[in-house]
Structure 1
Amino acid sequence: MFESAAEAISYVGPERRTRGNDLWQLLAAVLDEVDYGLMLVADGGRVIHANHFARQMLEGGVWLEIRAGKLKALNPKYQVQLLDAIVAAQHKDARTMLNMGVEGAAASGLSVVPLPIAVDSDTHTQRPVLITLQRSQLVEALSVGAFARAHNLSRREEEVLGCLCAGMKPAAIAQQLRISEGTIRTHVHNLKLKAHCSSMVELVKRVAVLPPIMTALKAGPLVSQ
């Protein structure tokens, strides 16, 4: 927990950090390590912190953006729903899932989650809430890369694994990688042997349950148990 909720809520950027905010800096660093889009927002949608993955997802502003320090939906209807969900989380401990998008673009979703952080009695700012952004696919590239390193996969085997995790069939993978379907099936066989899996479904599940850590590929070789 922060040293005080007022300190945490008043934070708006690196220039506002002080030694008294060590716990806040630690929490922000933890959020930045997670391979999901996560944001802490306060009243009115004011963004306290958006992790690296959230900022990456919001680049281009297709359905959400951070404008003047606040999280905003580009569609006015969704903006009302977003603000209502934040208020419900702050005052009623309500969890809300929202599906939103804009015409001509794929719909995306987010969850608004209440956090048990008390607000100092002398502040008028409400407690922050956690917003998680929907992942674009079941297994992200970082997880595939981490799994590949842990099991000493070749570059081609990693490519095949990534395609499997994206839901592609062997024939489609062969066409995309411009190799024969028989070669793809050989790679899949080798993948199952190296990962000690009995099927492609089990293989994909093994990757999907990896901890979603952003720096998994920066920390050196991984050890698989």
Structure 2
Amino acid sequence: MLDLIQTATTVPTRPPLADVNGRPGGQSVGGWWAGAIDQIDIGMLLLDANARVLFANRAARAELAQAEHPLQQLGGELRARRSADATALRGALRDACTRSLRRLLTLAQEQEPLHVAVLPLRDADTVEPLCLMLLGQRGGRVPMAVHCFAHAHALTSAEDQVLQALYRGLTPRQIARSHGVALSTVRTQLASIRAKTCCVSLRELLLRLALLPPMAAAFAAAA
């Protein structure tokens, strides 16, 4: 898989057609992998021990472009915005690339924490050791999968809004206050949501939301 990701980093546009083994007749595997990884709603970056960004999927690029994100890409390198996180980031990359150790970091702990996984990548044909970084979800953003879940179960627009608020961790009382409606209205909407999704409790509903696949939003082919 490492070869496929590295191949994808060198393809600026749709590659010539080739089959899965690279022979003419089907699209390049590297090209397919680049497109496939962009469909995953998890920020993924391929890095070396010096924090050089060799590949970043669409979710990662979008996150790093946000001014409030704890990480940023500058001059082709991944950097922590806060000096307190910089040392931990460098250590995790070094441990993954040179010692094949897995690391889980928590950045910006005093603000809105971001959990980051740094995983070693080893390949017999690769001289330079690399690592894969996975960016955790941050609070406040509702994944596309939750919207699709609401659509798949024919939730109304109001019920969809309640579901999103529930996903963000709001209680029924907080949802009622935020939406400017009575608590009884929110409880009625929650009962309807549970009925439509065949969930006997809010706990079961939240568990189902947590188990949804990380599907990215649709985007233009030229993006």
Letter in 2 for 1:48: L
Query: What are the Cα deviations for residues 2-45 of structure 1, in whole angstroms up to 9, with x where unaligned?
Result: 5588xx28946727x86579333322222211111211112311
Residues 210 and 10 (structure 1 numbering): CA distance in 2 closer, same or farther, change over 3 Å? closer
- Map of 1:1-225 to 2, 5 A cutoff? 1=1, 3=3, 8=6, 11=9, 14=12, 19=16, 22-58=28-64, 59-60=66-67, 62-101=69-108, 105-120=111-126, 126-137=128-139, 140-215=142-217
Question: How much is the aligned-residue C-alpha RMSD, in angstroms?
Answer: 2.8
- Partner residue of 1:221? none
Q: Distance in 2 between matches of 1:157 and 1:4?
A: 42
Q: How many residues align?
A: 209
Structure 1 position 51, deviation (Å): 1.7
Query: What are the Cα deviations for residues 180-223 of structure 1, in whole angstroms up to 9, with x where unaligned?
Result: 111111111111110001001111111110111114x68xxxxx
Letter in 1 for 2:12: P
Q: Distance in 2 between matches of 1:98 and 1:31?
A: 22
**TM-score, with length taken from structure 2:** 0.81
The answer to whether the 8 A contact 1:141-1:162 is kept is no
Residues 3 and 57 (structure 1 numbering): CA distance in 2 closer, same or farther, change over 3 Å? closer
Structure 1 position 70, deviation (Å): 0.8
* Unpaired stretches in structure 2, ≥5 consecutive residues: 17-21
The answer to whether the 8 A contact 2:8-2:31 is kept is no
Greater relative contact order (CA < 8 Å, ≥ 6 in sequence) = 1
Q: Distance in 1 between matches of 2:8 and 2:49?
A: 11
The answer to whether the 8 A contact 2:143-2:214 is kept is no
Structure 1 position 130, deviation (Å): 0.8
The answer to whether the 8 A contact 2:4-2:33 is kept is no
Report sequence identity in percent.
28
SS at match of 1:175: helix
